[in-house]
Amino acid sequence: MERRNFLRNSGAFFTSLILAGCGGGSSDSPISGTPTPGPTSQPTTPLATTGRVIVIGGGMAGASIAKYLRLWGRTIDVTLVDKSAVYTSNILSSLVLTGQRSLASLEYSYNTLRSTYGVNFVNDEVVAIDAGATEVALSSGTRLKADRIVLAPGIDFDAVPGLTDGNIMPHAWKAGPQTTLLAQQLAAMPAGGTVVLTIPPAPYRCPPGPYERACLVADWLRVNKPGSKLLILDANPGILVEKENFELAFRQLYGGIIEYYSSVSIDSVDQTMRVLNTNGGAVRADVINLIPRQKAPAIVSRMGLANDPTGRFASVNVLDYSSTAAPNIHIIGDSSATTQPKAGHIANQEAKICADAIIRSLNGLSPDSQPITTSACFSTITMTQASWLHAMFEYNAGTRSMQSIPAAFGASAGWNTENFKDMNTWFESLMSDTFA
Ligand SMILES: Cc1cc2nc3c(=O)[nH]c(=O)nc-3n(C[C@H](O)[C@H](O)[C@H](O)COP(=O)(O)OP(=O)(O)OC[C@H]3O[C@@H](n4cnc5c(N)ncnc54)[C@H](O)[C@@H]3O)c2cc1C
């Protein structure tokens, strides 16, 4: 573990944490190579715990909590249900569009969770939850019963009027077949063509993600499709994160390629003509990466758990991630509504806080009252260079929310190739903390 950057920039207060990536104020990257931090108060003495937990969704949040419930809870019976037999990482999936990564290189199996940690993995879809009976129904007809249920199903998308075939304007915002399809559409586009990338209103999964994808695709277009344009239609009033870096990149590196427009809503589409009908008029393009507005999946909303003020995501108590509508159900990752970004790193952190709280609760104890989470993020500014951002959050008892710690916030000034290498190290570390 290299803690130099972190120690230099964040002070001694956080030195007890094992960090995946952090730092601030310089262009040194928040290098990693170690597991991501757990809650500050993960059980220090083994707790004699019995109990059954069902985890719905084996992505960044669900796989992490299944592993850590077994690691820290020892005798807890953990069943992880996912509709896919293999997880495909969204993180780094934009590199598939430029041919720098294969989808296969982003796949993670559940074998180690099963063999090393004793997680029961069930490859099925949860179609219903009985909160009262703490029971779930699978599409195969099987019913599973537990003491606690953890929901970690990620996100779903709003329907877009006129778009009946999502493959015509792929979002590629869940890594998988649509990622491959978008890569193929870009490759087939003639030089001098027009690509559109739409950004939905916040909150959405991975706040810097669309901007970094735009940079990456623009760099690829520069080399492979000379004369092409990339129009970014952002529903938000401006660039949401790393504004200085992205603005600079759009202007300095991609001045002749990227055109950025803010406050653009997509009202409907004409999929046959490849046209977007926006509040500013019709826009036609050769390739359209349409990322719709996001919400928690139906398995969350059907139960009345998507109860944040927008009615899209699940309100939770961030001390234990229990639903504010059904206290014996916990909701972690992108489905939950918290003040933290919807990110894989944060999903992994929430999982650890929640695992700790469930173990304590099964032992009749209260959750840790001062949880801390951390989030590191690297953004690809070119096909070989990256920038980075780091934030930490601590519980604020007054607002009952996770609040960003200003002294721990850091972002790179600019971008470089070292950061790009560190991004891969950080990624390997995070994925191994989650799946290995
Ligand atoms: C292009 C892109 C780049 C990104 N880059 C970064 C980055 O650099 N850093 C970062 O921290 N984050 C990044 N993210 C965000 C990150 O991928 C998500 O925040 C993270 O995956 C959320 O984890 P999750 O567990 O909530 O959801 P997911 O990882 O999506 O997992 C949800 C799982 O639930 C399963 N599931 C859903 N419903 C059911 C059901 N009913 N029954 C059974 N299984 C079900 C799904 O199959 C899936 O495996 C990026 C995202 C994208 C799209």
Residue 224's CB: how many other CB atoms inside 10 A? 14
Per-residue confidence (pLDDT) for residue 14, from 0 to 100: 27
Give the mean pLDDT of the chain: 91
Ligand 1 in reach of 350 Cβ (< 6 A): no
pLDDT higher than 60, residue 58? yes
Tens of pLDDT, residues 354-380: 999 999 999 999 999 999 999 999 999
Ligand 1 in reach of 357 Cβ (< 6 A): no
- Classify 183 in phi/psi space as left (phi over 0), alpha (psi -120 to 50) or beta: alpha
Tens of pLDDT, residues 387-428: 999 999 999 999 999 999 999 999 999 999 999 999 999 999
Kindly give the distance from the C-alpha atom of residue 68 to the centroid of ligand 1, in angstroms, as a whole number: 18
Residue 49's pLDDT band (cuts 50, 70, 90): confident
Residue 44's pLDDT band (cuts 50, 70, 90): low
Ligand 1 in reach of 347 Cβ (< 6 A): yes
Q: Which atom from ligand 1 is nearest to the alpha carbon of 60?
A: 25
The one-letter amino acid at 102: S
Nearest CA to ligand 1 atom 6: 91
Ligand 1 in reach of 156 Cβ (< 6 A): no
Kindly give the distance from the C-alpha atom of residue 290 to the centroid of ligand 1, in angstroms, as a whole number: 18
Nearest to 322 by CA among 370, 294, 358: 358
Q: Which of 65, 82, 90, 289 to mutate to test the pocket of ligand 1 (most atoms within 8 A of CB)?
A: 90
The answer to whether the beta carbons of residues 374 and 20 sit under 8 Å apart is yes
Nearest to 362 by CA among 119, 13, 75, 117: 75
Gap between the Cα atoms of 363 and 48, Å rounded: 8
Going through 280-433 in order, the beta strands assigned E by DSSP cover 281-284, 287-290, 294-295, 314-317, 322-323, 329-331, 336-337, 372-380, 386-396, 401-404, 410-411
Residue 284's pLDDT band (cuts 50, 70, 90): very high
Residue 50's pLDDT band (cuts 50, 70, 90): confident
Kindly give the distance from the C-alpha atom of residue 90 to the centroid of ligand 1, in angstroms, as a whole number: 6
The distance from CA 334 to its chain's CA centroid, rounded to whole angstroms, is: 6
Gap between the Cα atoms of 54 and 51, Å rounded: 10
Ligand 1 in reach of 212 Cβ (< 6 A): no
Ligand 1 in reach of 353 Cβ (< 6 A): no
Kindly give the distance from the C-alpha atom of residue 91 to the centroid of ligand 1, in angstroms, as a whole number: 9
Longest CA pairwise span in the chain (Å): 65
Kindly give the distance from the C-alpha atom of residue 193 to the centroid of ligand 1, in angstroms, as a whole number: 31
Q: Of all residues in the chain, what percent carry a pLDDT higher than 90?
A: 87
Per-residue confidence (pLDDT) for residue 143, from 0 to 100: 98
Q: Which atom from ligand 1 is nearest to the alpha carbon of 297?
A: 38
Residue 47's pLDDT band (cuts 50, 70, 90): low
| Helix spans in 87-195 (H) | 94-97, 111-115, 177-188
Kindly give the distance from the C-alpha atom of residue 60 to the centroid of ligand 1, in angstroms, as a whole number: 6
Q: Which atom from ligand 1 is nearest to the alpha carbon of 299?
A: 41
The one-letter amino acid at 341: P
Residues whose CB is less than 8 angstroms from the CB of residue 400 and which lie 6 or more positions away in sequence, other chains included: 317, 318
Ligand 1 in reach of 293 Cβ (< 6 A): no
Query: Pairing mode, if any, of strands 143-145 and 135-138?
Result: antiparallel
Ligand 1 in reach of 82 Cβ (< 6 A): yes
Nearest to 151 by CA among 28, 304, 366: 304
Kindly give the distance from the C-alpha atom of residue 123 to the centroid of ligand 1, in angstroms, as a whole number: 17
Residue 323's pLDDT band (cuts 50, 70, 90): very high
| Range from 63-67, 81-85, 106-110, 406-410 carrying the lowest mean pLDDT | 406-410
Residue 13's pLDDT band (cuts 50, 70, 90): very low
Kindly give the distance from the C-alpha atom of residue 261 to the centroid of ligand 1, in angstroms, as a whole number: 27
Which residue is associated with the tokens 């870096």?
245
The one-letter amino acid at 244: E
Kindly give the distance from the C-alpha atom of residue 152 to the centroid of ligand 1, in angstroms, as a whole number: 9
The answer to whether the beta carbons of residues 60 and 20 sit under 8 Å apart is no
Tens of pLDDT, residues 219-272: 999 999 999 999 999 999 999 999 999 999 999 999 999 999 999 999 999 999
Per-residue confidence (pLDDT) for residue 74, from 0 to 100: 87
Q: For residue 353, what is the enclosing H or E element?
A: helix 344-362
Single pTM value for the model:
0.92
pLDDT higher than 70, residue 1? no
Tens of pLDDT, residues 94-129: 999 999 999 999 999 999 999 999 999 999 999 999
Ligand 1 in reach of 210 Cβ (< 6 A): no
Q: Which atom from ligand 1 is nearest to the alpha carbon of 87?
A: 49
Residue 85's CB: how many other CB atoms inside 10 A? 11
Q: Is the dihedral of CA 137, 110, 420, 221 positive or negative?
A: negative
Residue 70's CB: how many other CB atoms inside 10 A? 22
Kindly give the distance from the C-alpha atom of residue 37 to the centroid of ligand 1, in angstroms, as a whole number: 19
Residue 208's pLDDT band (cuts 50, 70, 90): very high
For 305-349, give the DSSP string: ---STTSSSEEEETTTTEESS-TTEEE-GGGEE-SS-S-HHHHHH
Residue 33's pLDDT band (cuts 50, 70, 90): very low
Write phi, then psi, for 366 (nearest 5 degrees).
Answer: -80, 160
Residues whose CB is less than 8 angstroms from the CB of residue 146 and which lie 6 or more positions away in sequence, other chains included: 51, 52, 53, 54, 77, 79, 134, 135, 136
Residue 401's CB: how many other CB atoms inside 10 A? 13
Q: Of all residues in the chain, what percent carry a pLDDT higher than 70?
A: 89
Nearest CA to ligand 1 atom 23: 60
Burial of 7 (0-12, 13-18, 19+ CB in 10 A): middle
Per-residue confidence (pLDDT) for residue 48, from 0 to 100: 57
Per-residue confidence (pLDDT) for residue 4, from 0 to 100: 28
Ligand 1 in reach of 57 Cβ (< 6 A): yes
Q: Residues 132-155: what's their mean pLDDT? A: 97
Q: Which atom from ligand 1 is nearest to the alpha carbon of 57?
A: 34
Ligand 1 in reach of 345 Cβ (< 6 A): yes
